[in-house]
Structure 1
Amino acid sequence: MPSLRSRALSVALIAAGRRRRFGSAEAVRTRVAESMRRPASHLPPRSLGRVAEVSRTFVGAWPVYEVSPLGVEPAARVLYVHGGGYINELVRVHWSLIRTLVTQAQARVVVPAYILAPRGTADRTVPVAADLLSGLIASGGPGGTVLLGDSAGAGLALAAAQRLRDRNGAQPSRIVLISPWLDVSMSHPDQAAIEADDPMWARPGLREAGRLYAGNLAADDPLVSPLHGSFAGLAPLTVFTGTRDVLTTDSRELLNRARAAGVEVEFIEEPGLPHDYPLMPVPEGRAARDRIVELVRAAAAES
């Protein structure tokens, strides 16, 4: 049973009208148009600079942040790809997770503020993410590399890992996916029943956001929906999902397909928890973050 705080948070999400943002294709188009007129900031909070060294470079048109522990040699490397339905920027909960990785796991965290849809489509975005992952793996130094993504960012992360595997066989030490969005078609038959209890997402808006991200590609192209790509040869996976998340069907399908391909999968499904619960200030979220820190520390121990 979910904790009292988790149940209260789900009630608060419903009361705040979170689902309305993705309640229809029109709502998503309106949000995208507003964002293009007044782009949201992806800048890190100033408080992060008190506990970490923060720098920014550019990879093409992408701002890429690097966040490292102050006065300590980083023990591992993390490429973190943020969520937001491919149409929203980095927000405070993403930066809070990054802070945890830097301060508790002593990790060097690379954070791309990738170009959002509809300008940033899968055919343009996945190759750049794969290049970033490749460069981080090859950068050397102590420890290994963890690829981490949440929601849409988890889909982009997985597609980048598949792209890199196809390119030269390289993989990070581990891939960690939080509430991954892996099939933008939103066509799984179990999703209708789950959607009725989801406090955050509605399928019509997600389909539209997925269409914008797909651009000229089909919704089932592996660059867009990596659930339809090959899992053979991928790094070990850790997947977090909650049963009040319409996207949990993607996680369950991933579990079956990855294990069938011989990939090691650690699968954590929390009953009654919503989308992205590991980023939330609830007991189950703290436990998930603690596990992610453990995984990054394990990568740090690699020679």
Structure 2
Amino acid sequence: MGLDVWNLPAEREGVPAPDELVERRKAVAAIPQQVEPGVDVHQQQYGGVPAVVVSVPEPARTVFYLHGGGYRLGEAAGWTGFASRLALAAEARIVLVDYRLAPEAPFPGALRDAAAAYDAAAEEFGPLVVAGDSAGGGLALSLAVAVRDAGRPAPTGLVLISPWLDQTLDGEMYAANAATDQLFGLDAARIGSELYLQGHDARDPLASPLLADPAGLPRTQVFAGGAEVLLGDATAFAARASAAGVTVEAHLVAGMQHVWFTIFADLPESAHALDAMARFVRAC
């Protein structure tokens, strides 16, 4: 069957990563992960796409997770600590997808990888909850839109953590929260967008899923911190999706940074957010 049934944009040739980005990737990959006891971690492939599976011994459900990193940084192994906490809280198997990064694989490379892995994981495990943070949150929403439009088996839920949803970079919060967001900002967004799009139209709804029609999407949970520049993307999507009849559960937490509960595990606000996400996943 393959990706032909998805009607996705064709692959495009990318360019090599600059030396500075290669070094940043190495630094990010070297950050140690604290995996919780009682959780298994192993490598796997789904649809030919590498993944890391983090699971409790007898998972009751599966979360298909797309990591952040501005479409140009990060790897699945760097999310195993957070995934282990989520796996325990949600009694779940977490499939962390190692989609290809820009600039070597510009849009739609990451989306095509996500689609191939999604089909294979759904065939093996049954209905999935799709989740992601930052750029991975944008990719998760793009995947959900592509699933709907292609008539593929729908996810039972969608979780977007500090999602980057709009490649036009028009959000007012880029200026309003510039002084408070310590992890992301307009300059980083511009660099990431240029490497990801490489001339592709930023208003393509599969590249900027905030611009897609949200009607018919699965029930969705959205998290955003009050101090982050992507607060506007999250609130705009929550409003549009709710108006289109999508069931939306929004958690907008004052003072919190970008993707706070994937990084700062010891904060009370992180514990509350993880508990809310686990409850949502268990209910899907």
Q: Under a length normalisation based on structure 1, what TM-score does the superposition of the two structures give?
A: 0.79
In structure 1, the partner of 2:235 is 252
Larger RCO: 1 or 2 (CA < 8 Å, sep 6+): 1
In structure 2, the partner of 1:203 is 186
Q: Determine if the alignment matches structure 1 residue 31 to structure 2 residue 47.
A: no
Alignment of 1:37-56 (within 5 A): 41=29, 45=33, 48=35, 51-56=38-43
Match of residue 134, structure 1, among 119, 135, 138: 119
Mapped partners of 1:79, 1:140: distance in 2: 10
In structure 1, the partner of 2:45 is 58
How many angstroms does 1:93 deviate by? 6.8
Match of residue 176, structure 2, among 172, 193, 198: 193
Q: Give the conservation status (yes or no) of the 8 Å contact 2:47–2:119.
A: no
In structure 1, the partner of 2:100 is 115
Give the alignment's Cα RMSD to 1 decimal: 2.6
Alignment of 1:94-113 (within 5 A): 94-113=79-98
**Secondary structure in structure 1 of the residue aligned to 2:177:** helix
Q: 1:74/1:59 Cα in 2 relative to 1: closer, same or farther (>3 Å)?
A: closer
2:112 is matched by which residue type in structure 1?
P
**Secondary structure in structure 2 of the residue aligned to 1:195:** coil
In structure 1, the partner of 2:54 is 67
Per-residue CA shift, 1:132-155, capped at 9, x if unaligned?
2233333346xx421110111100
How many angstroms does 1:242 deviate by? 1.1
**Secondary structure in structure 2 of the residue aligned to 1:186:** coil
What count of residue pairs does the alignment treat as equivalent? 266
Mapped partners of 1:67, 1:33: distance in 2: 26
Per-residue CA shift, 1:39-96, capped at 9, x if unaligned?
8648995x649522322233577421122223xx210011011111112113787222
Q: 1:29/1:105 Cα in 2 relative to 1: closer, same or farther (>3 Å)?
A: same
Mapped partners of 1:283, 1:49: distance in 2: 18
In structure 2, the partner of 1:182 is 165
Structure 1 residues without counterparts, runs of 5 or longer: 1-27
Structure number, greater radius of gyration: 1
When structure 1 is superposed on structure 2, of 51-60 and 100-109 the one drifting more is 51-60
Q: State percent identity of aligned pairs.
A: 34
Q: 1:240/1:40 Cα in 2 relative to 1: closer, same or farther (>3 Å)?
A: closer
2:38 is matched by which residue type in structure 1?
V
Q: Determine if the alignment matches structure 1 residue 156 to structure 2 residue 139.
A: yes
Mapped partners of 2:101, 2:124: distance in 1: 27
Structure 2 residues without counterparts, runs of 5 or longer: 1-16
Q: Give the conservation status (yes or no) of the 8 Å contact 1:190–1:249.
A: yes
Give 1 or 2: higher helix fraction: 1
**Secondary structure in structure 1 of the residue aligned to 2:233:** helix
Match of residue 240, structure 1, among 212, 218, 223: 223
In structure 2, the partner of 1:294 is 279
Q: Give the conservation status (yes or no) of the 8 Å contact 2:166–2:233.
A: yes
In structure 1, the partner of 2:130 is 147
Mapped partners of 1:91, 1:128: distance in 2: 13
**Secondary structure in structure 2 of the residue aligned to 1:139:** helix
In structure 1, the partner of 2:11 is none
Q: Under a length normalisation based on structure 2, what TM-score does the superposition of the two structures give?
A: 0.84
In structure 2, the partner of 1:15 is none
Mapped partners of 1:42, 1:136: distance in 2: 28
How many angstroms does 1:30 deviate by? 6.0
Q: 1:239/1:122 Cα in 2 relative to 1: closer, same or farther (>3 Å)?
A: same
Q: 1:192/1:60 Cα in 2 relative to 1: closer, same or farther (>3 Å)?
A: same
Q: Give the conservation status (yes or no) of the 8 Å contact 1:155–1:226.
A: yes
Q: Give the conservation status (yes or no) of the 8 Å contact 1:127–1:163.
A: no
